[in-house]
Structure 1
């Protein structure tokens, strides 16, 4: 038996709560366990995530289950040639949703005339690093992760489009 089809569509303002929830799910499963308690507490409130969604939702593409168009299971945010965010609900990972979102992002960047796609992850995030490597991204630089004040190391990845 096949699961529901995944539909990619532009985000709607009514998706804001679902998008915030999705980003907080991936925060709690991926980053929070790795952060110092005081840093985790600062991000754990969700205020920063909610502000990000409110500021950028209209630039997001969401993955939704076609049986319930309001069930957001993934999202991607592209700014120029940079994948600013790509998240899939932990319960929906390894179903090809991330690959669909990434392919959509790359096609969008190509259509805008970009020749290179760029994105970042952290060195500890071996799952995302492996995902991007499978999709042709190369790790080209590493530098301190200043966004999270975490002590982590950020990895810059690029791919020729």
Structure 2
């Protein structure tokens, strides 16, 4: 495995970012959703709209010639951190997270925040290993999934 290279996303990364988001949805969230929630999400077009709106703010990790992961943040909040299942557990997520934390700190923020779901044990463990604390639990009102959202924070 080559050392990942982090760079700002470009319009040419659109298909790769959509692929990674689809892969992580299929592997992580879809198995937890009800059939109604799956249908509602897949009809929504949310993923494509999100990428169209936020791609220019994202950073991607390249491993070899392939985009293997992405991160997106705004102010002190990490909106998304996804690594292709084929590239997980190779340090790509850690490198992306460090990139975002450094930029958030450089912008003058004293903490970084993010959300995940209680069922997502892998993500919760990853963030806990990186110094995050679970600071709040509340129903997922954005997606109406029936999940419980976990807010996590880290002082910078």
Category of TM-score, reference length = shorter chain: over 0.9
**Cα distance in 1 between the residues matched to 2:138 and 2:119:** 13
TM-superposition CA deviations, 1:91-133 (whole Å, max 9, x none): 1100010000000000000000000100000000000000000
1:121-160 matched pairs, under 5 angstroms: 121-160=116-155
1:93 aligns with 2:93: no
Gaps of 5+ in 1: none
Which residue does the alignment assign to 1:76?
Answer: 71
State the Cα distance separating 1:46 from its structure 2 match: 7.4
Using the TM superposition, name which of 111-120 and 146-155 deviates more. Answer: 146-155
Give the structure 2 partner of residue 7 of structure 1. 5
Is it true that 1:103 corresponds to 2:69 in the alignment?
no
CA distance in 2, matches of 1:102, 1:148: 24
State how far apart, in whole Å, the 2-side matches of 1:12 and 1:35 are: 32
The Cα offsets for residues 59-86 of structure 1, whole Å up to 9 and x where unpaired, read as 0000012x31xx2110000100000000
Q: Displacement, 1:41?
A: 2.0
Aligned length: 156
Which aligned runs of 4 or more in structure 1 are off by greater than 3 angstroms?
Answer: none
Give the TM-score, by structure 2 length.
Answer: 0.97
Report the aligned-residue RMSD. 1.1
* Whole-angstrom CA distance in 1 between matches of 2:86 and 2:41: 22
> Aligned partners of 1:126 and 1:147: how far apart in 2?
20
Query: Aligned ranges for residues 27-42 of structure 1 at < 5 Å?
Result: 27-42=25-40
